Amino acid sequence: MPTVAGAPDGGDRFSLPFVSGRAHCCFLAPSLEVMAVPISAEDLAWSQLRSEYGSHWSIWRSDAGRWYATRMRRSLSRVEMDRGLIMTASGEDAEELRDLLTAQERIGSQTISS
C-alpha cells in the first residue's frame, strides 16, 4: 500500500477530492497509509452525469432514489418552453435522466441554430 511522505507543496495539508465534488482538507502525518475507498454504483453514475452535464445542470438524487437535474441559468423564455426545453428533469434512474438531458441539449442546440 502506498505511503504519503508529505503534501505536494511541501507543507502538511492535503486536499482529498470526494465523489460529491467537494474537497476535504485534513492534516496527515508522514508515512500515513492511504487506502482506496470503494464507491457505490449510484455515486459513480452521479459523478459521470456531473462530468457530462455539470456545467449546465445541477444533478442530485432524492431520498426516494429518483434522479433530478435543474438548469443552472436564468429562467427559460416562453418560446424555449414551447420548443420543449424544461428547467428540471427527472428520471427513475441515472440512464433515464441522462437520456432526458441529452434530449434537452439537442433541443437547446436546435433552438439556438434556428
d(CA 102, CA 55): 14
Q: For 20-76, what is each residue's pLDDT tens digit?
A: 444 444 445 556 677 777 889 999 999 999 999 999 999 999 999 999 999 998 899
d(CA 86, CA 54): 16
Question: Are the beta carbons of 89 and 83 closer than 8 angstroms?
Answer: no
Q: For 72-84, what is each residue's pLDDT tens digit?
A: 988 999 999 999 9
Question: Are the beta carbons of 85 and 76 closer than 8 angstroms?
Answer: yes
pLDDT confidence bin for 107, thresholds 50/70/90:
very high
Residue 13 pLDDT: 47
Cell numbers standing for residue 37: 475507498
What is the number of H-type helices and E-type strands within the chain?
3, 7
